[in-house]
């Protein structure tokens, strides 16, 4: 088997595991009974209010902000930088590339470099603050290590061992259109890409599922109306 075929097959297998695992977890969250009415008060009394509450959590990490300003800052910067970096990477997945993504390319590069700061801060906190280390599990350290490795290999690709990004785009577009193409034959790209494949396989089985799970948190998604309406378990 050629390396092109190997990476094509592995990519499809990884995508099936990622999408299947993600959807399976969402299905589990959606069908888990929520027997008690437990919105964290003061809570919205309408469905629109609950949508606003969830939006403020997803966009601003509102309750984390109330709880701890330093963790909020570290976590928020991590997610914003990651988001900008994802926008930059979308150029490999689209043809033609929308104007807005072209404008945001530079911001994505800064986001990628800056991502190192919150990753290192959050890792420092896990290792050095006794009470945080005490409640940390393997997965808490591992995801920071994995992200750090992906970011460092990406920075290496951009500044030290460049790969042909047209080959990268052709490979990715080949995957998306089911017309497999040549895999970019650059050592560091193999590392960057393999780490991302691992990230995707790990995603549904890790704390990264908080991205989908937040919408199913009873303390956040329930309407505060137990005095007006009978609460039934679904
Ligand atoms: C978890 C997801 C990812 C993270 C955290 C990540 C991280 C990074 C970072 C920090 C850079 C350097 C800054 C930049 O050029 O934007 C970079 C570059 C790069 N990444 Fe990623 N990356 C991810 C996903 C991907 C994927 C899915 C691909 C494959 C299409 C990819 C291919 C590349 C390439 C080819 C470069 C070099 C860009 C250049 O030479 O201009 N990355 N990555």
State the angle between helix axes of 69-89 and 116-128 in degrees (0 to 180), rounded to the nearest 10: 140
Q: What is the pLDDT of residues 171-222, one digit of tens each?
A: 999 999 999 999 998 999 999 999 999 999 999 999 999 999 999 999 999 9
Asked if residue 88 has its Cβ within 6 Å of ligand 1, the reply is yes
9 Cα distance to chain centroid: 23
CA dihedral 128, 66, 69, 108 (to 10 degrees): 110
Which CATH fold topology does 3-221 show? Answer: Fumarate Reductase Cytochrome B subunit (1.20.950)
Question: Confidence class of residue 7 from pLDDT cuts 50, 70 and 90?
Answer: very high
Calculate what percentage of the chain has a pLDDT beyond 90. Answer: 97
Span from the CA of 41 to the centroid of ligand 1 (angstroms): 42
Asked if residue 192 has its Cβ within 6 Å of ligand 1, the reply is yes
> Which CB contacts under 8 angstroms, 24+ apart, belong to 132-140?
139/206, 139/207, 140/207
Asked if residue 78 has its Cβ within 6 Å of ligand 1, the reply is no
Q: Could you tell me which of 184, 200, 221 has the C-alpha nearest to residue 19?
A: 200
Span from the CA of 89 to the centroid of ligand 1 (angstroms): 6
**Among 157, 187, 199, 208, which residue has the most ligand 1 atoms within 8 Å of its CB, making it the best to mutate?**
157
Provide the mean pLDDT of the chain.
96
Q: What is the pLDDT of residues 143-172, one digit of tens each?
A: 999 999 999 999 999 999 999 999 999 999
Question: Confidence class of residue 65 from pLDDT cuts 50, 70 and 90?
Answer: very high
The residue assigned the tokens 């590392």 is 191
Asked if residue 172 has its Cβ within 6 Å of ligand 1, the reply is yes
* Largest pairwise CA distance in the chain: 66
List the domain boundaries for the chain: 3-221
């Amino acid at each position: 088997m050629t390396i092109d075929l190997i990476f094509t097959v592995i990519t499809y297998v990884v995508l099936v595991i990622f999408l299947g695992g993600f959807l399976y977890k969402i299905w589990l969250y959606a069908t888990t009974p929520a027997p008690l009415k437990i919105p964290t008060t003061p809570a919205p009394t309408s469905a629109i209010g609950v949508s606003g509450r969830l939006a403020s959590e997803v966009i601003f990490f509102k309750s984390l902000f109330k709880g701890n300003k330093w963790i909020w800052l570290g976590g928020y910067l991590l997610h914003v930088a990651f988001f900008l970096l994802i926008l930059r990477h979308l150029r490999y997945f689209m043809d033609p590339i929308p104007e807005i993504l072209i404008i945001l390319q530079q911001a994505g590069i800064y986001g990628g470099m800056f991502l190192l700061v919150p990753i290192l801060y959050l890792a420092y906190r896990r290792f050095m603050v006794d009470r945080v280390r005490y409640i940390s599990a393997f997965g808490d350290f591992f995801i920071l290590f994995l992200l750090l490795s992906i970011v460092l290999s990406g920075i290496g690709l951009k500044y030290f061992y460049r790969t042909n990004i047209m080959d990268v785009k052709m490979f990715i577009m080949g995957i998306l259109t089911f017309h497999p193409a040549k895999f970019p034959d650059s050592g560091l790209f193999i590392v960057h890409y393999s780490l991302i494949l691992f990230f995707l396989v790990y995603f549904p089985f890790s704390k990264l599922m908080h991205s989908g799970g937040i919408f199913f948190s009873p303390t956040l998604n329930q309407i505060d109306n137990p005095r007006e309406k009978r609460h039934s378990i679904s």
